[in-house]
Amino acid sequence: MTLTEIIFILAGTCTVMLFGVKLICLVMVLAPKICYPLPESFMTSLGKWAVITGGSDGIGRAYAQELSKYGMNVVIISRNQEKLDRAARTIELATGVQVKVIAADFTKDNIYGHIMECIEGLDIGILVNNVGILPSQIPCRLLETADLEERMYDVINCNVKAMVKMCNIVLPGMKERGRGAVLNVSSGIAKIPCPLYTLYAASKVFVERFSQGLQAEYRSKGIIIQTVAPFGVSTSMTFHQKPDLVTFSAEDFVRSSLKYLRAGDQTYGSITHTILGWIMQAIPTWVLRSEAFQDNFEEYVKERIRR
């Protein structure tokens, strides 16, 4: 056999193996109920309470609603007291569970003592680090961000620091009880170089790496730590874009993503977003980095928002 033949055979074998692995992954994503079965009592077996940051609206509120349907009491934390009370009333009326609300602004540093006091002694089974903000509603180059100096602290405090601080508050109890789950909401755009969302995407890369490391440290203590990385979800962050093939309603997304709770330390939370993630990662990075792509993408997003 010649060297060229050996190289071709090796390349062929690697390609077949790569596609084989992708196929197995796809089958597992397509059948979460079979591959990652969750008994009805699984959520409450982790603890009586779920704590959700940014829980009064969007994806966070959907997590609070969905987890309450499993019989968990919920604590929701965000800034606006009225919105919190409204969300709490809706959940209590629908499911009869207890709902605690905490008004706190995650862009600030001095909130964690109060949060700790409010949730002290609760048997917390699930922590959803959901709060996250964009530096600018319209994607733009970093230096074009309005009030950049202030916004960069806000984004880092909300998207990065809040997650680390909340883990520091909640994890010790989970470790002591030997059970619990921490869901850290990342973003599909953390998986690719993402100009025009540079600061936001970088903050979400932190979420991913932090979660992977933490899961390795605490898996043996009975704690699940997972990043959930959606692409499009119809919320105020995305101007309540109409749900379609790739954009989910917050409720549908959360219902789907919870099925992957036992699927490992990272999930896109749905079949559609998993496939979208694979497609995005297959795009050569020089395309994503090109000026032409950036200009067209900026125009496309502005046009969608305008519509």
Ligand X SMILES: NC(=O)c1ccc[n+]([C@@H]2O[C@H](COP(=O)([O-])OP(=O)(O)OC[C@H]3O[C@@H](n4cnc5c(N)ncnc54)[C@H](OP(=O)(O)O)[C@@H]3O)[C@@H](O)[C@H]2O)c1
Length of the chain: 307
> Can you tell me which of 44, 68, 130, 256 binds ligand X, judged by CB under 6 A?
130
Element (H, E) at 21: helix 3-30
**CB nearer to ligand X: pick between 158 and 214:** 158
Q: What are phi and psi of 128, to 5 degrees?
A: -110, 105
CA distance 211 to 181: 11
How many residues touch ligand X under the rule CB under 6 A: the total is 28
Instruction: Write down the least CB distance from residue 267 to ligand X, Å.
Output: 13
Query: Shortest distance, CB of residue 180 to ligand X, whole angstroms?
Result: 20
Give the DSSP H or E segment for 103: strand 99-103
Q: SS3 of 78, please?
A: strand
Residues of this chain, 241-300, that bind ligand X according to CB under 6 A: none
Among this protein's residues, is 260 annotated catalytic? no
- The 100-119 contact track toward ligand X, x by CB under 6 A, reads -----xxx------------
- Distance (Å, whole) CA 21 – CA 39: 27
Q: Rounded to the nearest whole angstrom, what is the least distance from the CB of residue 232 to ligand X in the complex?
A: 5
Distances from the Cα of 59 to the Cα of 32, 176, 211, 219, angstroms: 21, 29, 19, 26
Map residues 172-201 to x or -, x wherever contact with ligand X holds by CB under 6 A. Answer: -------------x-x--------------
* Contact flags string 132-171 toward ligand X, x per CB under 6 A: xx------------------------x-------------
Nearer to ligand X, 32 or 132 (CB): 132
CB of 52 to ligand X, least distance (A): 9
Q: Which is nearer to ligand X, 44 or 163 (CB)?
A: 163
232 lies in the site for ligand X, by CB under 6 A: yes
Q: Look-up: residue for tokens 């397509």?
A: 30
> Residue 58, interface with ligand X (CB under 6 A)?
yes
Q: Minimum Å distance from CB 59 to ligand X?
A: 4
For 163, 169, 194, 200, 291, the CA distances from 203, given in Å and listed in that order, are: 11, 21, 12, 5, 23
Which residue in 63, 70, 197, 200 is the catalytic one? 200
Q: Which whole-number Å values give the CA distances from 142 to 27, 136, 138, 211, in the listed order?
A: 39, 9, 11, 26
In the chain the first and final C-alpha atoms are separated, in Å, by 62
Which two tokens mark 261?
């709770």
SS3 187: coil
Q: Is 267 exposed, middle or buried (0-12, 13-18, 19+ CB in 10 A)?
A: buried
Contacts with ligand X by CB under 6 A lie at: 54-60, 78-80, 83, 105-107, 130-133, 158, 185, 187, 230, 232-233, 235-238
